[in-house]
Amino acid sequence: MLPFRKLLFPVDYSAPCCATIPYVKDMAKQFSAEITLVHAYSLRPAFVNRDLEGVMVYNDLASDPALLEEARCFEVDRLRKFAHEMFPDQRVGTFAEEGEAGTVIHRILQHQGADLVMMPTRGDAPLRRFLLGSVTAKVLHDVSAAVWTGVGSALEKHQPSVPYKSIVCALDESEEAEAVLRAAAVLAKSYKAALALVHVLEMPPGAPEMDFNIYRKELIDAAHTRMRDLKTRLNLDAPDTVIDVGIPDSIHEEIVRRKADLLVVGRGHDQGAISRVWSRLYAIVRDSPCPVLSI
């Protein structure tokens, strides 16, 4: 996984997409990584004037192979021009394919491979403006590569910087915690950035016959002990804190307090597709005031 050697950058030409470009360039420079751009386009009719918006209007494509080819050539050429304009000094691969964006990204990963997918949390295109964004959610859930996500508006509000100077790593009780911390430590060392840890402590659900609050201090102390053990094994010297309520909000506050430029989290690969970790991860990614690297 680390160091990252191949980056995949999905492009939808939106403002959040363009806001991600400096981060893609920085990551590629930091690890001497290759960059591949992928654009998924739809052949459904579009009611947009090509001359005004630079978007192809597709009509009756299914019955006209010539128009199908014209549409494909248009999208391929558009992506290549975007690559040349945005990455003028770099050799960048490009793939423009028809289909649903999450499916196309997954297909490119399977055939071309990549260590890291870098994309905005949601774009400006229709159906990508609300909540987390269906494409981002699908990528976070389905792909095995690491995923970097960021929201354009949040990037402006918090103003995280590149190269990264401060990194926060969020850990939980899962078996993947050590791997997540190792990745965060490699990034911090590579960037010469400060590293801080935050332990996400899942309190047991309340029950009338048992009050877990009386065990809260013991659970928090145990979490601190676990983090000390992890840091000892990895020979790390980093401050840590434990949160057990309002997890997304508490992580948000820790990011702001540490003036973090990047949050590193796990994706709960060992906890199953229906685990609570997914809804929690989506909330963390959606609300983070800095980019999130999901391992």
The better pLDDT of the pair 279, 97 is held by 97
- For residues 182 and 260, membership in a common domain is answered with yes
Q: What percent of the chain has pLDDT over 90?
A: 48
Please report the pLDDT score of residue 104 as a whole number: 93
- For residues 143 and 167, membership in a common domain is answered with no
Residue 122 in this model has a pLDDT that exceeds 70: no
Please report the pLDDT score of residue 129 as a whole number: 37
Please report the pLDDT score of residue 95 as a whole number: 96
- For residues 116 and 132, membership in a common domain is answered with yes
CA–CA distance from 108 to each of 97, 139, 141, 196 (Å)?
9, 12, 16, 34
Dig out the tokens for 205 from the structure: 């659900």
- For residues 194 and 269, membership in a common domain is answered with yes
Looking at the domain assignment, is residue 237 inside a domain?
yes
pLDDT tens digits for 98-112?
989 999 999 999 999
When pLDDT is averaged across residues 243-261 and rounded to a whole number, the result is 89
CA distance 213 to 111: 50
Please report the pLDDT score of residue 180 as a whole number: 94
- For residues 152 and 260, membership in a common domain is answered with no
Please report the pLDDT score of residue 245 as a whole number: 79
Residue 256 in this model has a pLDDT that exceeds 80: yes
Cβ atoms of 189 and 174 closer than 8 Å: no
C-alpha of 32 from chain center = 20
Cβ atoms of 187 and 293 closer than 8 Å: yes
Quote the domain boundaries for residue 272.
159-294
Strands 116-120 and 146-150: parallel
pLDDT tens digits for 8-34?
999 999 888 998 999 999 999 999 999
- For residues 101 and 167, membership in a common domain is answered with no
Domain boundary among 156, 190, 215: 156
Backbone angles phi, psi at 126, to 5 degrees: -55, 145
CA distance 18 to 118: 12
Domain boundary among 156, 172, 204: 156
When pLDDT is averaged across residues 165-172 and rounded to a whole number, the result is 94
- For residues 183 and 290, membership in a common domain is answered with yes
Cβ atoms of 268 and 174 closer than 8 Å: yes
Dig out the tokens for 286 from the structure: 């959606």
When pLDDT is averaged across residues 216-230 and rounded to a whole number, the result is 89
Q: Which of the listed ranges 43-57, 69-83, 197-211, 257-271 does the model predict with the highest average pLDDT?
A: 69-83
- Mean pLDDT for the chain overall: 82
| Domain count of the fold of the chain | 2
**Helix, strand, coil abundance in the chain, percent, nearest 5:** 45, 20, 35
Please report the pLDDT score of residue 49 as a whole number: 43
- For residues 84 and 146, membership in a common domain is answered with yes
Residue 124 in this model has a pLDDT that exceeds 50: no
Looking at the domain assignment, is residue 1 inside a domain?
no
